[in-house]
Amino acid sequence: MSDETPSPAAPGRADPPRRAVVTGAAGFLGSHLVEELLRRGTEVVGLDSFLTGTPENLAHVAEHPGLRLVRCDITDYVHVPGDVDLVLHLASPASPVDYLKLPIETLKVGSIGTLHALGLAKDKGARFLLASTSEVYGDPQVHPQPEDYWGHVNPVGPRGVYDEAKRYAEALTTAYRQTHGVDTAIVRIFNTFGPRMRPYDGRAIPTFVRQALAGEPLTVAGDGLQTRSVCYVDDLVRGILALASSDLTGPVNIGNPEERTVRQIAEDVVAATGSRSSLVFVGRPVDDPQVRRPDTALAASALGWKPEVEWADGLARTVAWFREAVVAGGAGTAQGSR
């Protein structure tokens, strides 16, 4: 939990931010956040190194007068001219394929990149929001996971580069709040899905959808009885912006508390795609969590947030996007930093 426990009626900000900086803006989640901020009338400066993100994710808003997309490595010198009201720090490789291939880059963006993003917020007097992750809970021994659970993480395992980068980023964000008085918040994001995910990013849902559409067997890790709680991206964006608009410091879990086995997710994907694909069972990755489910009581009471998009509806939208992007050869190879 945060060091300041908010009341359920935590006051928010009266006006939406006039100008926001989004790091990792061209990734899966970052692009959806940029799109919603623009819809709400906020001017956005999007920063992205395009290491795992791509401008294709923002092609549909590229000509929007309120958007400025800049190639920028947040681990290098960062300068944004003019006023800024909100800094949303999402930059990081987030899929296992990415952070296992880019371990040093993952650790650098969680440490140096977070330091620079916090420095920008401090310089501008802006609200700062860190996109952390449910991975800080590791392979949890408490279920569901509340914000005051410290986690069960293997710091030297293959997933440690991502887990520890985010845990360090949380500590650094807290230190900037306590030492420099920066207005900070931490969101812990649970498994998210939706359009613009990469078909080869290694995460279960895009992998299953790609395989089902191609008529290939769906590769289910282990016995498939491990559980995940998956949240449609539109709901997650609402939760993040609700936290950004509040006075909460966090951390706050944002995710869908409805739990499913990985095997059930695979079977639902087969049904949603109309595929004849079978399931095949393969070895589980090292330190793969057995269970993952957020306790969202704080988000519900303090932010009035809960997921609204049903699993079947979100999956249908995701499959429809993959059919167009992957099968038709559109943006199917698009990258995504979250």
CA distance 312 to 316: 6
| Catalytic residue (one of 99, 137, 149, 162) | 162
Identify residue 135 by its one-letter amino acid code: E
pLDDT exceeds 60 at position 332: no
The pLDDT of residue 325 is 85
CA distances to 107, 211, 212, 229, 266 from 271, rounded to whole Å, are: 39, 13, 9, 19, 9
- For residue 281 the two structure tokens come to 């069972």
| pTM tops 0.85, yes or no | yes
Mean pLDDT for 309-325 is 96
Q: Where are the beta strands (DSSP E) in 72-226?
A: 86-89, 127-133, 184-189, 192-193, 218-221
Identify residue 38 by its one-letter amino acid code: L
**Half-sphere exposure for 255 (CA within 13 Å, toward CB):** 28
Mean pLDDT for 183-208 is 96
Handedness of CA 47, 100, 238, 151 (dihedral sign): negative
| Each residue's pLDDT tens digit, 23-51 | 999 999 999 999 999 999 999 999 999 99
Catalytic site residue 162? yes
The pLDDT of residue 288 is 87
- Sorted by where each starts, the structural domains of the chain and their CATH numbers stand as 19-196+231-257+292-308 (3.40.50.720)
**Half-sphere exposure for 281 (CA within 13 Å, toward CB):** 7
Identify residue 261 by its one-letter amino acid code: T
Q: Please state the φ and ψ torsions of residue 236, each to the nearest 5 degrees.
A: -65, -40
Mean pLDDT for 209-237 is 97
Residue with tokens 């769906």: 218
Q: Cis peptide leading into 144, omega within 30 of 0?
A: yes
Mean pLDDT for 241-266 is 97
pLDDT exceeds 50 at position 117: yes
Mean pLDDT for 220-238 is 96
Mean pLDDT for 98-123 is 97
**DSSP bridge partners of 48:** 71
**Mean per-residue pLDDT over the chain, rounded:** 92
The pLDDT of residue 15 is 76
The pLDDT of residue 328 is 58
Which runs of consecutive H residues, i.e. helices, occur in 109-250?
114-124, 160-180, 204-213, 233-244
**Ranges 8-12, 107-111, 254-258, 314-318: which has the least confidence:** 8-12
Angle between helices 262-273 and 311-322 (to 10 degrees): 60
Higher-pLDDT residue of 75 and 13 is 75
Instruction: For residue 278, give the DSSP letter.
Output: P
Q: Pairing between strand 43-48 and 227-228?
A: unpaired
CA distance 8 to 47: 34
The pLDDT of residue 333 is 42
The pLDDT of residue 162 is 96
Q: Please state the φ and ψ torsions of residue 328, each to the nearest 5 degrees.
A: -85, -5
pLDDT bucket at 12, cuts 50 / 70 / 90: low
pLDDT exceeds 80 at position 201: yes
| Each residue's pLDDT tens digit, 58-96 | 999 999 999 999 999 999 989 999 999 999 999 999 998
pLDDT bucket at 329, cuts 50 / 70 / 90: low
